[in-house]
Structure 1
Amino acid sequence: MKRKKHTSADDDAQIDMTPMLDIVFIMLIFFIVTTTFDNSKGLSANRPPENQNTSEPSKALSIRIDADGTIHMIGRIVDIRRVVANTQTFLAENNTTSAAIQAHEDAEHGVVVDVMDQIKQAGIESVSVLVKKGS
């Protein structure tokens, strides 16, 4: 009678990795499906409707701010404290709801923000800011 050779315990003891891999893949699929992405970062653009027909273009208030902080408005140099009064004068003469600020890239941001605030105090809600590259 032949005797069977006993194999060592290390050869027979192996861990089956298949169930663990199944669980990992199921968890991965679960997290991919339930993840939501937030796209609210950045500025939102308010665009006019595409089918908007205007028979008469409105004249927008145009303001230019130079690199040294000089404010040009309605063809003349204006002090920062007189922006509200000049804007109200412009609104009395023109029917408009928008203003455009063309600021030099080296102009101080505080001056631009102050001008925007004063324009909104005068009654214009739609303010656009353009940056002019220095030359």
Structure 2
Amino acid sequence: MKFRRQSNDNVEINLAPLIDVVFLLLIFFMVTTTFTRETRLGVVLPEASGQPRVEVADHVEVVIGAGGEYLVNGEQLLRHDEATLRSVLLPLARAGTDRPLVITADASSPHQAVVRVMDVAGQLGFVNITITTQAPSGG
């Protein structure tokens, strides 16, 4: 019986197609990647400067506490919503919208509460809205 001799071929893995596939994947990921640039606004908050304004006797004052509670001309509102604020400011607006409306907010009061007062006052027709500021401490 004659057995056939097995040929001892040199088995090699051709790396060229593998490198081609890797380069194609690299190109695919480079093309499909979105390069987003994060942009941020640099906000410099204003500080008060100058002399305090002379107090006007006939004005509407809205004080906003740290928890978002409202005091209108010294009277605290029961609820902290827009409807209650509107119902209190409406008679004052009917008396005259040319009177100054002064908004005094605590430093830790929510920003939404200040915006709500400005929005309601603008809708009721107040034209002279002032936000009080505190002079910077120190030199």
TM-score, L = length of structure 2 = 0.48
Higher strand share: 1
